[in-house]
Amino acid sequence: MAYSAAVSKEPRWLDHEERAAWIAMAGIVFALPAALDAQLQRDAGISHFEYTVLAALSEADDRSLRMSYLADLANGSLSRLSHVVKRLERQDWVKRTPDPDDGRYTVATLTEAGWDKVVATAPGHVEAVRQLVLDPLTKAQVRHLKEIGTRVTGALGIDLEAEGLRRS
């Protein structure tokens, strides 16, 4: 991700409307993850990242995904995922096996207990997403949000098609 270094003397400062939009966006971006984490931690004892991992596996064929692909889906590094899956494995929610087709890959699979955990956790999480994000918006604003999100995630280099496989 290359930001053209601000070499010119005068940066393009934000006008009034841009500034207001950015302040609102910043508020969301830095407070929403904490709020979602808090709900999941309180009601299910897991982090949002852990939930994302379990949910992604629950929607995959055979409830299985390669570690590297799963890391991409969950927007995390492979190292982070490896640490997290180690913990999830201790709880017997996930198990790991080498990929028979290519031994370099590791395949993570959701166990029956892991499936139950997702089923038990999903409704509360969806409800939190509704209350914090979707319910406060009009139908038109939901549409606008989708379009804005498409453009910004594009600038961030995120592939929404792939993301579509998962998430509540």
Partner DNA sequence: AAAGATTGATCCCTCAATCTTT
Partner DNA sequence: AAAGATTGAGGGATCAATCTTT
- Give strand pairing partners of 63: none
Q: Can residue 124 be called a binding residue for DNA (CB under 7 A)?
A: no
Residue 125 contacts by C-beta under 8 Å, 6 or more apart in sequence?
Answer: 36, 39, 40, 51, 168
Alpha-carbon distance of 142 to 157, in angstroms, equals 22
Cβ–Cβ < 8 Å for 74, 80:
no
The interface with its own copies within residues 68-97 (CB under 8 A) comprises 75
Q: Can residue 164 be called a binding residue for DNA (CB under 7 A)?
A: no
Question: Cα separations (Å) of 152 from 6, 19, 29, 99, 156?
Answer: 21, 16, 13, 35, 6
Q: Which does 96 bind (CB under 5 to 8 A by kind): its own copies, DNA, none?
A: DNA
Which token pair is 159? 């592939």
Q: Degrees (nearest 5) of the Cα angle 158, 2, 69?
A: 30
Which token pair is 66? 């390669």
Q: Can residue 153 be called a binding residue for DNA (CB under 7 A)?
A: no
Q: Which of 58, 64, 106, 168 binds DNA (CB under 7 A)?
A: 106
Which range in 55-63, 89-97, 98-106, 126-134 contacts its own copies by CB under 8 A?
A: 126-134
Q: Which of 54, 84, 88, 94 binds DNA (CB under 7 A)?
A: 84
Which is nearer to its own copies, 21 or 113 (by Cβ)?
Answer: 21
Q: Can residue 67 be called a binding residue for its own copies (CB under 8 A)?
A: no
- Contact letters for DNA, residues 43-82 (x by CB under 7 A): ----x-x----------------xxx--x----xxxxxxx
Which token pair is 70? 């799963």
- Which residues make up the interface to its own copies (CB under 8 A)? 1, 3-6, 11-14, 17-35, 38-39, 43, 75, 122-124, 126-137, 139, 141-156, 158, 160, 163-164, 167-168
